[in-house]
A and B are shown apart, each in its own frame.
Chain A
Amino acid sequence: MTLISQQGATGTPRGADIAIGGTGAVSGRLRYMIGTLPIYALFFVLIGLPLLTVLAQSVMPALFDPVAPSFVIDPSPLFRAFASVRVDTAILHSLELGAAVGVTSTILGGVFAILTQRFVLPLRWLITPVPWLVFLTPAYLKAMAWVLMMAPNGYLAQLGLLSRPMSDAFFGIGGLVFVHTLSLFPLSAFIIGGALAGLGGDVEDAARLAGARPLRIWLRINLPLLAPALALSAIATFAEVLSDFGLATTIAKTSGFGVLTYGIYVAASDYPIDFPMAGAQSLILLALILTVVMADRLLRRQGSFRLISGRSRTARVYDTGRARWPMALAALLIAVLALYLPMVIIFLRTFTATLGHGLETSNFTMLNVIGALSPGAPASAALVRSLVYATFTALISAGIALILSARLDQAGPNARAVVMGLSIGSIAIPGIVLGFGYILVWNRLPGFRDWPFPHYGQPSLLVVGYVATALPYCLVVILSAVGQLAPSLDDAARLHGATRLTRLLRITLPLVLLSVVTALLLTFIRTMFELPVSQLLIPQNGSPVPTYVVRLLKNDDDGPASALALVAMVTAGGLAGGLWRVAQRFLTFGGRAAKRTSL
């Protein structure tokens, strides 16, 4: 889940007070219902019902008892969870890790944002794309690369750069904070960078004219104005860590550092299966996340961001002369640790036979890649399955999001704000909890259990689960794009006699199509590597890429795991990148007039 501050889309007057044939409040309310009901229904089936079932399971332990199901409310699983040392430790670990990474990621992301936005840097092209690429790379692959480096027999030890105690220290909270920070700093950099850009140069210029020196300006003007963004960054990364499953199932598991998400996974899928316990831990995790989301809401309601508008002039970029080289190196170091080094490691491991023989010439081989690419091999079968699932998920999610966004246009501005809030809220739900909810609904709930399509254990249900995790993202992207359109564009088309359908197809759709394609491609990449839902809903006909990679890692087959990950990244990234280039080429219209002007 990712909580990126979303501005602009909510509360726009688009579609406000739409006038159609009928008049009066009744038809307005009816239109609102027609516009929003399918959305609420979809949200309920895809997200609400699984979540409700998880909550019900956590307080009604016998709800899905195969022998004597009962609705008796009994908080004993919760007591049992709190009485368990393992669960208590997991809660503490999760909180500890979240708090630490909230701070470190905010610092690293803030430094990165300031370096890249406010200083003249050489080698910029090597630095600026990094946050996006890191953001799109799944956590468990970055974790895998770091394990390959930091293991007692890993690459760094072979190069004599790592002592045994240092390696041991890595497999604990230290290493987890390190890898989480490198993995999540883009989120902080986006949030803080956005606020920095919005800050503009005016307040700073005013301070300079008042005689303040740069350090004083930063401490007394910029930092206080950025405080809400810093807090938001800390909160968002904290929540990210709480719901992370990628590191929980790799480094944390290897280190014996139990966290809540992994506890839920074990209780829900490992023998002996203990649904009430999984429910209780889900409830605890959700309560923690909810607290964080509330804190985020509260912070944003104070409206600190409103002061920072997009209208001020661009800020001054400092040219520090020769000192820009050390600055570039600092930014580059972050980029190398977060992206380039892990990718190189995965690349090296792909083309070597064993980890132990390191970079010896005789150790290089093509076997891993051949295994990932040869038709019929389990790895390539997983790749094909994931490509198919991801394609379906992307098309379905972006398609549904587009239709829902268009319907919302009928319902008026309040509906947009509500659905936007609902989407952002859904993004905050950890994938592992949602996946557990899917097991309960589609494997246990009467009516759903025997439903032929989608069906538990089938790829169809996995795709539905993927859609549930992707749809809120797509809605946020597409709703934001629709909200960015000046309302006058649609008004003008109405006055020219265009019907609703014509306006949708000829005005709105072409102008948001780039966003639709972006949502589609982002969904495609995310789905290729989505881990928690994949882990809990593995279809009987075989694993998709993420679960297969994790299984290979579990069996210490890190060569084939690296090869599959590399091939999947190159395939998915190449496809998505190529398509996006084409879309961007044809779907940008100078942009200027398309943006909302403030009236």
Chain B
Amino acid sequence: MKDFLHSDLALSCRGVEKSLGGRRILQGIDLEVCPAEIVSLLGASGSGKTTLLRIIAGLMMPDAGRIAMRGAEVWSPTRAVPPERRRIGMVFQDYALWPHMTVEGNLAFGLRAQHLPAAEVKARIDHAIDVARLGPQRDCLPAALSGGQQQRVAIARCLAARPQLMLFDEPLSNLDAALREDLRTEMMDLVRREGITVVYVTHDQAEAMAVSNRIAVMREGQIAQLDTPQRLYDAPATPFVASFIGGFTLLPGRAAPEGFHPVGSALMGLTCGGAGPFVLVIRPEDARPAALHPGTCLSGTVRACAFQGRCWRISIQVGAFLLRLDWPEPVEPGSDLNFSLPPERCTLIAA
């Protein structure tokens, strides 16, 4: 961890705490974001991700902790820079376009509020409208735009303000599924090209994986793991993170020197250096025929089988647990199936 006030950090949060109505929403949040990096806050509703975002924006006050941007403190128990002076852009879930102003008016509002020279205002608006491809809509009111266009206006409005940091609050959740992926790609291209630092809130792990350099998985007001998408996928730090990512299923058991005893199944030749209750993380795509890895074999009864295009997704009951596997051929529900897992792909996590 770098020094808290290091100027190479676009954002750093230390020990941020927040309680609302007696409930602890955030508990000792530490977070560092480097310039031009895109960090996602990923979690279920109520995990505190939106609260953290609003605290970073200054729209909400933490109870304790410190927050700095580019080496300048913006919040501490003795000092608070108001949101209007933090130079933060935010793309809201509902976009928050001012409905009585045209697209250009929306872009110009913040710039004029900062008393920028007219030429500068015009140049910035032209650039933002250009990169967001909003030329034809320049004089439209927001109500006349499509959902995708409204989103581009919201982003262009932030770009024109040249913020130090841009916050995205579930910006895709109001769009239908078909649009989402296209707009996500377009939106992140735009942000990357402009080299902007982003904190992105979402509850959709696929979205988080697609947009982020790093992901902070949040649970009950804490960051359960902060890592790159690949690391989260390959080495989830806790059973919670593993269960939240990639459709993984967990098989509980006990680790011992001779191997791993899944509850209700035969011993598997896996060691992890620890002993006691552990869970085995099973990624669906890791399932192999039983003969391939005889030391890490499991067997169970197939409960359901659904065609997925490249493979069949099966639910298999192993002992008392339902696991998800991808299998190259269909299996009749009710029949027994033996399968194995490549030992190098097996992750054991202390339960």
Task: Report if A and B associate in a common complex.
Answer: yes
Interface centre among A492, A496, A592 (most CB of B within 10 A): A496
Interface of A: prevailing SS = loop
Q: Count of A-B contacts with CB under 8 A?
A: 112
Closest to B167 in A: A495
Minimum CB–CB distance from A589 to chain B (whole Å) comes to 4
**Per-position 1/0 for B109-136, Cβ under 8 A of A:** 1100110000000000000000000000
Closest to A596 in B: B94
Q: Return the contact of A511 from the options B84, B100, B161 (Cβ within 8 A).
A: B100
Whether A498 pairs with B143 at a CB distance below 8 angstroms is no
Determine whether B319 belongs to the interface, using a CB cutoff of 8 Å to chain A.
Answer: no
Whether A23 pairs with B61 at a CB distance below 8 angstroms is yes
Whether B150 pairs with A19 at a CB distance below 8 angstroms is no
Tell me the chain A residues, 448-499 only, with Cβ under 8 Å from chain B. 486, 488-489, 491-499
Interface centre among B100, B113, B144, B157 (most CB of A within 10 A): B100
Interface of B: prevailing SS = loop
Residues of B within 8 A of A498 (CB): 84, 109-110, 113
Residues of A within 8 A of B109 (CB): 493, 496, 498, 506
Determine whether A507 belongs to the interface, using a CB cutoff of 8 Å to chain B.
Answer: yes
Determine whether A376 belongs to the interface, using a CB cutoff of 8 Å to chain B.
Answer: no
Whether B82 pairs with A496 at a CB distance below 8 angstroms is no
- Cα–Cα, bound, A21→B58 (Å): 10
Residues of A within 8 A of B141 (CB): 589-590
Residues of B within 8 A of A502 (CB): 113
Determine whether B269 belongs to the interface, using a CB cutoff of 8 Å to chain A.
Answer: no
Whether B143 pairs with A488 at a CB distance below 8 angstroms is no
Q: Return the contact of A489 from the options B57, B98, B157 (Cβ within 8 A).
A: B98
A496 in contact with B142 given A19-B80, A21-B80, A491-B59 (CB within 8 Å): no
Whether B99 pairs with A589 at a CB distance below 8 angstroms is yes
Residues of A within 8 A of B80 (CB): 19-23
Determine whether A510 belongs to the interface, using a CB cutoff of 8 Å to chain B.
Answer: yes
Whether B143 pairs with A589 at a CB distance below 8 angstroms is yes
Number of interface residues of B (CB under 8 A): 38
Q: Which of B85-93, B191-199, B283-291, B331-339 contacts A (4 or more CB under 8 A)?
A: B85-93
Minimum CB–CB distance from B139 to chain A (whole Å) comes to 14
Minimum CB–CB distance from B97 to chain A (whole Å) comes to 5
- Cα–Cα, bound, A593→B78 (Å): 38
Tell me the chain B residues, 143-191 only, with Cβ under 8 Å from chain A. 143-144, 150, 157, 161, 174
Residues of B within 8 A of A497 (CB): 84-85, 87, 110, 113-114, 161
Determine whether B4 belongs to the interface, using a CB cutoff of 8 Å to chain A.
Answer: no
Whether A494 pairs with B96 at a CB distance below 8 angstroms is no
Residues of B within 8 A of A496 (CB): 84, 109-110, 113-114, 157, 161
Interface centre among A486, A507, A589, A593 (most CB of B within 10 A): A593
Minimum CB–CB distance from B104 to chain A (whole Å) comes to 14
Whether A499 pairs with B113 at a CB distance below 8 angstroms is yes
Interface residues of A (CB under 8 A from B): 17, 19-23, 486, 488-489, 491-499, 502, 506-507, 510-511, 589-594, 597, 599
A and B contact pairs by CB, cutoff 8 A, 29 listed:
A19-B58, A19-B60, A20-B80, A23-B61, A23-B78, A23-B80, A488-B92, A488-B96, A491-B59, A491-B92, A492-B90, A494-B59, A494-B83, A495-B59, A495-B84, A495-B110, A496-B110, A496-B161, A497-B84, A497-B85, A497-B113, A498-B110, A502-B113, A593-B142, A594-B99, A594-B100, A597-B93, A597-B94, A599-B93
